[in-house]
Amino acid sequence: MGTSVAMIERHYGQTNVLMGLEHETAKRRKPKKAQAADAANPDATANIEAKPTAKKSHKLHKQPIKTDATIPAGAVDMTPVDDGSDEYEICLEQLSFFTYCLRRTGQIRPPEHARRRPMTHDELVTEARAIVARQVTSDMDSEQKDELLEQALMSLLDRKVAMPFFGKAGILGAGGGAAVPGRYLMHDDPRLPPMPEKPTLIDFFEKRILLMARGGQHLLQSARLAQKNGLPEKIVLACLLHDIAVTAHIRSDHGYYGAQLIEPYVDEEVSWAVRYHQALRFYPDPQMNYEYPELYTRTFGEEYRPPAYIQRDYEQARNHKWYMSARLVTCNDLYSFDPNVKVEIDDFKDLIGRNFRQPEEGLGFDNTPSSHMWRSIIWPNNFL
């Protein structure tokens, strides 16, 4: 069962995922075997049968998700689906925590947690097709049938989902998203694991941060490295939380946001180190064997120079009594992982218990200057 870009946008309200795919630059070719299979079965997508003569629909097939068009290095995982087919599974990690798995055929395979939704994507489409089958007539052309299918899908959807604010700005930059009628989802999102009433930091790791497998493991493995290096608990905690913003909240200026997020709950030195690690990452420290990351050269270009406020904050940090705390975060800021090593958040349970002041009311509901930020991690797609 295949489907069109527009339809998936409507199902999931994630215009940016699809726009992202369409705007990619690197190219992955469809395997020959899959091309042959397509040729043998050119309309495996929308084969809604008209009565009494079947007239096949082509519109959907002509607009598959452009999974063979464009994957930027590092932005997606692309691994063969292990069911013996030539399909690839593409996992896109988005700012809004969703990992979408799009099959080359245009199928969506929702992530594990999303499969617990009351209605899966396949069930939704099956039900929509059943509705269309009752409405379609022999004089309809393929476009009219596709129209019916889209209407049926829309009628089955309860809510559309707004993009988070910062993501929305990105969408506008990429050309804007299509307007879709319907009500907006607010608060609990059935695609995300439910959070308890009084969530702890561990809950945030388990039910949000670690949904981003790579980002989550980056935090755990950085903390593990700091521990292995015999660093004090404060530094291990700073490593564990240093990229919490980019993983669970917002990418831009992540050190500053991350520090603000944790400030009410940790020792001042910990949030200070998280704040300044962002600036320090751009400046070598030969005495600590810290060099400008090669990754930054690849990611931002040879010519990139940090803006004035980063330069200023680096200068300030360099002369600060806690300089070494932030520097140690950068020294343990791991970029390459041993895929065979899996660190668990439970390994840090005791350390968190000793160093993170968990509020009784739960993070997000304790009325601190950063409570709203924790709430936006719980409900990342609220319209308001």
Interface ranges with Fe ion (CB under 5 A): 243, 333
Backbone angles phi, psi at 205, to 5 degrees: -65, -50
Q: How far apart are CA 79 and CA 82, in angstroms?
A: 9
Nearest approach, Cβ of residue 182 and Fe ion (Å): 37
Nearest approach, Cβ of residue 248 and Fe ion (Å): 13
Beta bridge partner(s), residue 290: 285
In this complex, which beta carbon is closest to Fe ion, that of residue 139 or of residue 291? 291
Nearest approach, Cβ of residue 281 and Fe ion (Å): 6
Nearest approach, Cβ of residue 336 and Fe ion (Å): 12
CA torsion sign for 277, 280, 281, 282 is: positive
CA torsion sign for 256, 257, 262, 264 is: positive
Q: Is 90 helix (H, G, I), strand (E, B) or coil?
A: strand
Place of tokens 């396949």: 122
Nearest approach, Cβ of residue 273 and Fe ion (Å): 11
Nearest approach, Cβ of residue 331 and Fe ion (Å): 11
Q: How far apart are CA 255 and CA 252, in angstroms?
A: 9
Nearest approach, Cβ of residue 377 and Fe ion (Å): 17
In this complex, which beta carbon is closest to Fe ion, that of residue 93 or of residue 333? 333
For the chain, the C-alpha Rg in angstroms (whole number) is 24
In this complex, which beta carbon is closest to Fe ion, that of residue 206 or of residue 243? 243
**Closest CA relative to residue 355, chosen from 175, 220, 234:** 234
Q: How far apart are CA 209 and CA 215, in angstroms?
A: 7
The answer to whether the bond into 52 is cis (omega within 30° of 0) is: yes
DSSP state of 290: B
In this complex, which beta carbon is closest to Fe ion, that of residue 60 or of residue 273? 273
In this complex, which beta carbon is closest to Fe ion, that of residue 189 or of residue 243? 243
**Closest CA relative to residue 238, chosen from 161, 351, 338, 149:** 351
Terminus-to-terminus CA distance in the chain, angstroms?
Answer: 35
Task: Calculate ∠ Cα 117-212-368, nearest 5°.
Answer: 90
In this complex, which beta carbon is closest to Fe ion, that of residue 86 or of residue 263? 263
Q: How far apart are CA 138 and CA 61, in angstroms?
A: 20
Strand stretches in the chain, DSSP E: 76-80, 88-93, 99-103, 108-109
Nearest approach, Cβ of residue 243 and Fe ion (Å): 4
In this complex, which beta carbon is closest to Fe ion, that of residue 203 or of residue 243? 243
In this complex, which beta carbon is closest to Fe ion, that of residue 9 or of residue 333? 333
